[in-house]
Structure 1
Amino acid sequence: MGKGDPKGATRWRGWLLLAALTACASLRAGALEVARLPTPAEPAQVLSGQLDGQFQVRPVAVVQEVSHQPRWWRVRTSARVDTQSEPLLLLDGPYMTRVEAWTPGAATPTRHAIYGDDMDLRYSSRALAIPLPQGLPAGASVYLRVSAPGAVPMAVSVQGRDEVHRADLIYVAWRTMILSAMVVLALLALAFWAGVGERSFAFLALTLTCAALYIAAMGGEMRGIPWLDALFGQDPRATRVVGCLGVMASNVFMRMFLDLRRQAPRIDRILHWLTLAMGATALLNLAMDRGEFAMLGNLLLVLSALAVFAAGAATSLKGHRAARFLLLSWLPLIVMCILKALQLMGFIAGASWLTHALAASFALAGLLLTIGLSDKLLQLRRDRDHASRQASTDPLTGVLSRGAIERRLKEEIAIVQATGRPLCVAFVDIDHFKGINDTHGHHVGDACLSYIGQRVRNRLRTQDLLGRYGGDEFLVLMPDTALADGAARSEQMLAAVNCRPLSIDGLLVAGSLSIGLAQLRAGETAQQLLARADAALYASKAAGRDRVSSELSPQANAQARA
């Protein structure tokens, strides 16, 4: 880097600034010592300093109370904290933790919680904010009496009031965006379920709803809604049960989304039993408030996440399109769920960012899975339409099958009865078709059917319909066509076939048609109409073939009298 390289100088200054900020952050974190008193004690004993020697220093600045009984914690600073910035002691991510705090110079404790009477609405629910009006002299201690039914880890820090308010604004904006996205996605999934009747959308909606409730309960957003405040802010079991229901709904959704019963039956059975175990855990949590049941739920969450990942990987290797959406959407969520569960079980200390990352990964997974499920339904619709086309199309000639042309005939008759417009039908039979098969073989006969079908179709209008009725016989529907116009179009079909031989595998095969034509009469059924067209067809054959006969032609009348 030369002396005149301003970009290089700017780059170095940036790295130095980052290093300085990192060092300051480390210095501030290292300035706080967090210790716990393992046994209960009276306030007078603790505040007088008699029990200071019994406090057990923690390796990191994190408060995580696992006892159901209140315990004493001590926060001590090795560097002076002055009053200029109006400092606050923050306990990040408290959930249902309640704290009584004795700060230096205060005669009475202050009480703090994000739920109930002790919540402080001047600050967001991201942390308990304990004012330090006199600052903290070097070596001074803040004593905390902590009641934590949820046993959540809370990172401890000291920040100025302005810094806290800025962080609160960012936190509220972020949480509002994430929770709003999850609610919108849940409503969208419900709308899809109501619209298309696909049960997968219902379980996805339930998963997202439970996730939103769980995240909002853990983050404290429920405190703004009175009855939800009472439900989720007084007893941790409500949040645990919602979490269990969310995992159960997620497992069922994954089994349906990946079609695991057929694609990976072993993993499907594993997820089935994990879902039942989670249901039993939810019932146990309802019955008793025990930390062991919360640990069991976290363990089942980790196992379910691993099973879902294994299912996605296994089905993806088989070319399952939906599995790719799953791996893309679920992998960040799986990682965050596992890390959060490990944090709640005490294996990871601090990492307050996990709460926000978990919420964001839920929203991202919900969005991508909604897109994936919509893509899956679209693919199923394409497959259904393709199967429907195959069922309604004759595979040899490419024209409508007999069932399809008969259905269309009934629809056209209903239109005629409603509007009074004319309708003609024509039976078309290939002359001497058996002789072609016997002389040249069935492969030539099949090609003959296909070529003649193409020639006849080329003489029809867009609204006319052509179907293979059986063997070498075709049925033509001509809507909005009177008998005279139908006869003219039938002559065109006749000419399209007998004008030149068919060239098949080097052979020239002469072809001609016999056609019987009839127009629908008032009050007539499809069977009656086809019977008259069939009689006209036999009249054409009796008169020497290669011709068109209608219900009004002399040969058709003679055939009818016979």
Structure 2
Amino acid sequence: MGDHRRGVAQRPWARGWYACLLLFLAAWACLTPSQAATPQLHMLLGSDDIPAELALAGAPGLRWSEPLPNQMMFPAGGRVRWLRLDPGPQAGSQRWVTLARLPMRSIDVWLPQGATGWHHHHDGFFQPNPDHRALHAFAWPLDPAADGRPVYLRIEHGGRLFLDVDVSSTEGVMAMESKFVAVLATCLTVLAVMLLANLMFWLNLRDRMYLLYVGAMAALSSWLVFATGLGYLWVSGLADWRWPGSPSGLLLALGNAALLGFMHGFLGLATGDRLAARTIRVLATALLVVALCFVLPGSGGARWPGLLASWTFSLVPPLMLWVLVRQLQRRAPGTWLFALAWLPYGTLSAIRTAVTWGWVDPSPWTLFGAAPAIAFQSLVLGLAAVQRALELRQERDLALRLASHDPLTATLNRREGEARLAHMWQAWHQRHVPLSVLFVDMDRFKQVNDRHGHEIGDRCLRVVTEAVRELLPPRAVFVRWGGDEFIVLLPGIRVDEALRLANDIVSAVDVIRVSTEDGHVALGASVGIAQAGEAVDSAASLVRRADQALYRAKHEGGARVALA
């Protein structure tokens, strides 16, 4: 029955995860560009750099490549590339040359003006021109009067670089910009909400797993902002921040290291799979070393940090997949959920690695797909972490209840009762809040146990406590003091009200009959009453006086009330 309730309670979470998947697919559809006529793109061959005058003049000694795809990967060799873009005939409306906003050190664009003129634009990923503030791409307007003339681009970059250049109408640029902004705003909002929620759980629970989640999603979100150039576009002062190495590489390494730490705690690898736990720790350490390399002096101009990062990042998806498969085989709790959350991001990371090594062709999703993938991962893992926090809270509450309550009668146990009594005694001693104590003992309970057995005796205790509990006022505290002895603490109640309650308890117990194989068992109870006053010097003394009154009531025949 408990497992059934647990399954029913988790169905809303399952619906939430399905909604996350639909959100990711919708983002995928929004960011997929529509197909249009592809402009002719050529790359200068045989030289890394030439004077701009030679390129613009169309010098006969220059050799240009055959038409290239407008989405391509620059090789790692040269740092400067010249491109010639033939935009095709003017269709009547304003057209724009767009270049995906990716980490290029500098971009020089010569746009044709009229029949012979040129308009030079200088831009950069780290120092973007404020006149070209499209979020998803650099955008430069084409002169309709220069129909048929080529556009020249000089791009300075370090290492391999994904290139996505196109010619679009004003409506096409605005439509893609609207989709990009909508998806990006949604993703960043999801990330912010999940970060705040899990930060609150960490502040309450102090579980390192939630702090690792916050660190992972914060680092990956920051990497997303830096990798797309939005950080430099939104805050111009970042361009003057002299990083020793790559902030994008640093943040990506830190984010993946924290994600591995979260995976280690969420799946319980330390106790369930030592080999997988050791693998995750080694991989996370390697990523931290990569992050350290990106902040070493001189790393900005060196190739080895990028190569080390490429090799390390290449290992992350397959090793994480291997660990998840192992956990699925041993049916570790939460594995399928972590796999569902990580799969889009892990797949995208693997594709980015393959693109980096030149194994597959690039596409806009190798970078821009990171936003919905990270948001989807954050949302699903965030919901899972929240669910885990709620389960931990329930387990903690249950443990506290078991530690403070009697398992047979569901009343407070003696230790918790003494703590409550001490608090009430302080309230009476400092503020003179009235305090009465009832000491309740069942009559002839030993004979019931001896004749009918402890099972019947336990049933009698449960029946009596239920009957007494229904009579108690809201502020009363019901404590099983030991065996068949109970104490009722009555803060704010004077002795005359306590006396009426005690008589009601005796009357209620007197009519109880518990059926057995040998017939019915009649029960009874006696009650002793004591009230805090000047003659009582401690809480223990108050209980002792109530016990003495109880002894007198039982000595007089039982089933009655005695006042101390």
- Deviation of 1:257 after TM superposition, in Å, equals 3.2
- Give the aligned partner of residue 250 of structure 1: 259
1:152 to 161, 169, 172: 161
- Give the aligned partner of residue 137 of structure 2: 127
- Give the aligned partner of residue 479 of structure 2: 467
| Closer, same or farther: CA 446–38 of 1 in aligned 2, 3 Å | farther
2:221 to 205, 208, 212: 212
- Deviation of 1:527 after TM superposition, in Å, equals 0.5
Greater relative contact order (Cα < 8 A, sep 6+): 2
1:513 to 495, 507, 525: 525
Higher mean displacement: 340-349 or 377-386: 340-349
- Give the aligned partner of residue 479 of structure 1: 491
The answer to whether the aligner puts 1:490 opposite 2:529 as a matched pair is: no
What is the distance in 1 between the residues matched to 2:492 and 2:217?
54
- Give the aligned partner of residue 453 of structure 1: 465
What is the distance in 2 between the residues matched to 1:402 and 1:471?
11
- Deviation of 1:278 after TM superposition, in Å, equals 0.5
Higher mean displacement: 276-285 or 368-377: 368-377
- Deviation of 1:193 after TM superposition, in Å, equals 3.6
Q: How many residues align?
A: 521
Where structure 1 has 5 or more consecutive residues not aligned to the other structure, the ranges are 1-21, 552-562
| Closer, same or farther: CA 101–463 of 1 in aligned 2, 3 Å | closer
- Deviation of 1:39 after TM superposition, in Å, equals 4.5
- Give the aligned partner of residue 18 of structure 2: none
Task: Judge conservation of contact 1:155–1:350 (CA < 8 Å) in 2.
Answer: no
- Deviation of 1:514 after TM superposition, in Å, equals 3.5
- Deviation of 1:175 after TM superposition, in Å, equals 3.4
Higher mean displacement: 502-511 or 353-362: 502-511
2:103 to 95, 100, 108: 95
The answer to whether the aligner puts 1:333 opposite 2:342 as a matched pair is: no
The answer to whether the aligner puts 1:110 opposite 2:111 as a matched pair is: no
Letter in 2 for 1:524: D
- Give matches, 1:188-337, under 5 Å: 188-194=197-203, 196-221=205-230, 222-231=232-241, 237-287=246-296, 288-289=299-300, 290-309=302-321, 322-323=334-335, 325-337=337-349
Letter in 1 for 2:540: Q
What is the distance in 1 between the residues matched to 2:528 and 2:366?
79
- Deviation of 1:384 after TM superposition, in Å, equals 1.3
- Deviation of 1:529 after TM superposition, in Å, equals 0.5
- Deviation of 1:103 after TM superposition, in Å, equals 6.1
- Give the aligned partner of residue 537 of structure 2: 524
| Closer, same or farther: CA 72–37 of 1 in aligned 2, 3 Å | farther
Letter in 1 for 2:520: L
1:286 match: secondary structure: coil
What is the distance in 2 between the residues matched to 1:469 and 1:191?
39
What is the distance in 2 between the residues matched to 1:211 and 1:231?
20
- Deviation of 1:367 after TM superposition, in Å, equals 3.0
Give TM-score scaled by structure 1 length. 0.80
What is the distance in 1 between the residues matched to 2:460 and 2:127?
89
| Closer, same or farther: CA 57–508 of 1 in aligned 2, 3 Å | same
What is the distance in 2 between the residues matched to 1:286 and 1:176?
30
Task: Judge conservation of contact 2:438–2:530 (CA < 8 Å) in 1.
Answer: yes
What is the distance in 2 between the residues matched to 1:190 and 1:178?
18
1:82 match: secondary structure: coil
Task: Judge conservation of contact 1:102–1:108 (CA < 8 Å) in 2.
Answer: yes
| Closer, same or farther: CA 476–318 of 1 in aligned 2, 3 Å | farther
- Give matches, 1:10-89, under 5 Å: 25=35, 28-29=37-38, 32-35=40-43, 37=45, 39-40=47-48, 42-43=50-51, 47-52=58-63, 57=66, 60-67=69-76, 69-75=78-84, 77=86, 80-82=88-90, 84-89=92-97
- Deviation of 1:153 after TM superposition, in Å, equals 0.6
| Closer, same or farther: CA 399–194 of 1 in aligned 2, 3 Å | closer
What is the distance in 2 between the residues matched to 1:160 and 1:235?
40
Letter in 2 for 1:82: Q
- Deviation of 1:154 after TM superposition, in Å, equals 0.9
Cα deviation digits, residues 196-218 of structure 1 (max 9, x gap): 54433433332232222222222
- Deviation of 1:186 after TM superposition, in Å, equals 3.6
Higher mean displacement: 125-134 or 477-486: 125-134
1:400 match: secondary structure: coil
2:523 match: secondary structure: coil
- Give the aligned partner of residue 13 of structure 1: none
Task: Judge conservation of contact 1:154–1:352 (CA < 8 Å) in 2.
Answer: no
| Closer, same or farther: CA 122–458 of 1 in aligned 2, 3 Å | closer
- Give the aligned partner of residue 452 of structure 2: 440
Where structure 2 has 5 or more consecutive residues not aligned to the other structure, the ranges are 1-31
Q: Percent identity, please.
A: 25
